[in-house]
Amino acid sequence: MWFDSWSDLGRILVVGPLAYVALVAVLRLSGARTLSKLNAFDLVVTVALGSTLATVLLSADVSLAEGVLGLALLVLLQFVVSRTSLRWPAVERAVKSEPVLLYRGGFLEVPMRRARVTEGEIRQAARGSGRASLEDVEAVVLETDGTLSVLSSAPDLPDPGGDGTAGR
């Protein structure tokens, strides 16, 4: 349980850096989109990449070559799905969600219930955007990546000195 063999530890010390370099190379070749959090599909790919890397590191049953192929396959599949969703709206609807309006001059109960978002979470998002009250908020939207966007009806907070040095 605490220790199996020195060879297992040695394997991790050899395979770990190689798998890490392979993952970085695959991610650099695939572009920033691979690790973006644009939607649930992107999150699944990111988690799967991490799981694959962990399996390569910790399982002697999976060779480095198999792991690198797995990482490359996940990135390729994400590329294919994202390109396909650009061409066919039905595929896009299947893998991506739409933004949901949760607040507009008042709480929208049905969308909030469907999105499983509470009034407290909406108030927290408003405070996080620097608004002390929902009176200064025009709308709150649940974005496709799960974040809450706060759209303000009030102008940005004024600069008390009027000389552009606020917050310095």
Contacts of 49-58 spanning 24+ positions with Cβ under 8 A? 49/23, 49/74, 49/75, 53/19, 53/20, 53/23, 56/15, 56/19, 57/12, 57/15, 57/16, 57/19, 58/12
Q: Which range (43-52, 145-154, 157-166) has the least confidence? A: 157-166
Give residue-wise pLDDT tens across range 151-163.
Answer: 986 555 555 555 5
Q: What is the mean pLDDT of the chain?
A: 85
The rounded percent of the chain whose pLDDT value lies above 90 is 48
If one compares 102 and 136, the residue with the highest pLDDT of the two is 102
pLDDT of residue 168: 41
| pLDDT at position 50 over 80 | yes
Report pTM.
0.67
Q: Band the pLDDT of 113: cuts 50, 70, 90.
A: very high
If one compares 92 and 107, the residue with the highest pLDDT of the two is 107
